[in-house]
Each structure stands twice: as structure tokens, then as C-alpha cells.
Amino acid sequence: MLGIPTVLDRLIQQALHQILSPLWEPGFSAHSYGFRPGRSAAQAIKAAQGHVRSGKRWVVDMDLEKFFDRVNHDVLMARVVRKVKERRVLGLIRRYLESGIMQEGLVEPRSEGTPQGGPLSPLLSNILLDDLDKELEKRGHAFCRYADDCNIYIGSQRAGRRVKETLTRFLLEKLKLKVNPLKSAVDRPWKRKFLGFSLTAQKESRVRVAPQSVKRLEDKLREKFREGRGRNLTTFLEGLRPLLRGWANYFSVAETRGVFEELDQWIRRKLRCMEWRKWKRGRRRMQRLTALGLERERARTSAFNGHGPWWNAGASHMHQALPTAYFRKQGLISLLEEVNWRTALREAASL
């Protein structure tokens, strides 16, 4: 659960973060990418791609069970005290860990976990999991970790099972953290999801958007389309743009682009479906189709064809009446164009 601190507490936690981060940052692993300056999920998935291309075509996908809710306070503070000796600072960090959560006016005490939502929590999670990074480095493993998502890249399934077993024991004994057996696995990288991405199975593996991420976006958009029924199209698209732009920005590192084109087509069909529903009756539909450029006889036949909204949204008369250019004029952005544009910017910056 999220534990959002008050404004004053956020200020104090941010001040602590700015002082404590430089103490640990130089010693953190080069394979750790989460919540660190100058590092990103895009860098993590590119590093994972490098490991797979080097021949490590099995992955140990470790999922920590409710990590932020299960952090042992004593184990965490034992790592903080390695570099922080000031008792007042240590006491303040401990109090934030134990501050609890207020729900419906009642405070629930907290005996374990580090509350998500505060500026200090990401740093504390990296301090705790740095022991895992050091253990993996000591064993010579190729791995990528982003917060509590950790993937270890191995050359064989047998070796992967052995690594999974020993790491599960290490996490439980040393850090008091449990591995979720249902979500963790030894598998091929292209069958697993890492930070919303996956990889293709070719020898020169390419980064792609994971199918689960596509489905999650479609679910969000379906909810938006339900809310947008009957609304003005331009206003609706204005509210849709931040979601589409943010999604395209995050996944612009993907190297397979077909999914973006397919999503663009699906979104336009959903918009045509929404407009068809908005017109409601046959006579109104005929009037709108005629106004949008269809011949009167074709508009009449199309308006009274007896098919449902989704069928009509994919039919030629709606494509002619509401082409891609129409939606662009109303404010719709293309995921594929956004991704291509952002990729071009990155390439230009690297020259």
C-alpha cells in the first residue's frame, strides 16, 4: 500500500535523501538501475538485451513477495548504520519506517516494510538490496536489477534452477525477504516480462513491448472510451493525449514497431465505434455520413445496415467518413510517430 507522507515529512525525507544518497551512490552496483541518478528502465532492458545476445539465453526471473511491505526494519537499519553514525538521523529514519498508515481516520501501526510514496523509500530499498547485488557480483553472474525486479541471465536451464534455489535461500536468511514462487521462474527471456518489456527469440535479440503491457494499455483505454461516450471528440482526445504520449515515451526504446501501428489502428476503430454510438439512430447516422462526404444513397444504406457499432467501426463507409486525417485534425496523436520521433531525438543526441 502507498504511504504518502505529509508535506513537511516529504520535505524532511527529501533533505535526508540528498545527504544520504552521495554516501551510497558511488558504491552501488553498475547493474542496479532503479531510482538512481542518470539511470533508467531503458538502460536496464538494453543491458538485459546485451546479456541475451552474448549467449546467456536463460533467465532467472526473481519476484520478491510484497517487497515494500515486507522489509525487515532491523535488517535495513543494520545496513544504514554502516555509513550513518548520527543517532538522531538513525532515530528519524526508524520513526519514518514505523510511522504507519492512516486509513479512514485510523492509524494502522507498521512493524515491517518501507512505505511507498515517500522520497526516502527508493534509496532505502537500494541500500537493502545492494547486498543482493554484491552477492551476484561475487558469484560472477550477469544480471539487471531495477528496484525489486531482478533478472539473472544464465547459460543453461540447469544452472538457472541452481541459482534460483541458492538465491532464494540467501534472500531469506540474510535479508529476511521471501521470493514469490508463483511469479518467479527459470525460463527463456522472450517468455518473460521485465519492466514491461520482453525480448525476441532471434540470436540478435531485439527489444519489444511485452504482451502484458499492451493488454494493460488496452484495458486503460477501454475504460477511457466508456467514460467518453457522448462527449465532444476534441475534448475527449485532449484528455487521452497524456496517456498515449507517456506510454509512447516509456516504450520508445522498443525495436519492434508493429505493435504501435496495430494499437494506432485499434484506437482509431474504437473512436469510430464511439462516434457511431453517439449518432444513435439511423436517420442521424445517415445525416452525419452525408455531411462527412458520403454519397446520399451509400450513407442511407450504411446507416440502416443492421450491424452493430464495432462492425460498422471497421467498415469501409466509416473509414471513408472518418479517415486518419480527420482524427489528427481533432487532436489524436499516433503512437508509432511519437516513438519514431523520440528515437530520432535520442539518435541525434548521441551523435
Q: Mean per-residue pLDDT for 14-39?
A: 94
CA dihedral sign of residues 343, 346, 348, 351:
negative
Q: How far is 162 from 168, CA to CA, in rounded Å?
A: 10
Do residues 117 and 3 lie in contact, with contact meaning Cβ atoms separated by under 8 Å? yes
Length of the chain: 351
In the structure, what pLDDT confidence band is assigned to residue 109 with cuts at 50, 70 and 90?
Answer: low
DSSP secondary structure string, 134-190? HHHHHTT-EEEEETTEEEEEES-HHHHHHHHHHHHHHHHHHS---B-TTT-EEE-GG
The one-letter amino acid code at 7 reads V
The answer on pLDDT for 4 being more than 90 is no
pLDDT at position 1 is 62
Tell me phi and psi for residue 153, to 5 degrees. -100, 125
Q: What mean pLDDT is predicted for residues 11-31? A: 95
Alpha-carbon distances of 191 from 61, 106, 150, 243, rounded to whole Å: 11, 44, 16, 27
Would you place residue 52 in the very low, low, confident or very high pLDDT band (cuts 50, 70, 90)?
very high
Question: Residue 344: which pLDDT band, with cuts at 50, 70 and 90?
Answer: confident
- 113-154 per-position pLDDT tens digit: 777 778 898 999 999 999 999 999 999 999 999 999 999 999
pTM (predicted TM-score): 0.87
pLDDT of residue 105: 73
Mean pLDDT of 250-254: 95
SS3 content of the chain, % helix, strand, coil (to 5): 60, 10, 30
Distance (Å, whole) CA 271 – CA 236: 10
Q: Give 79-107 pLDDT, tens digit per residue.
A: 999 999 999 999 999 988 887 776 777 77
Phi, psi at 104, each rounded to 5°:
55, 40
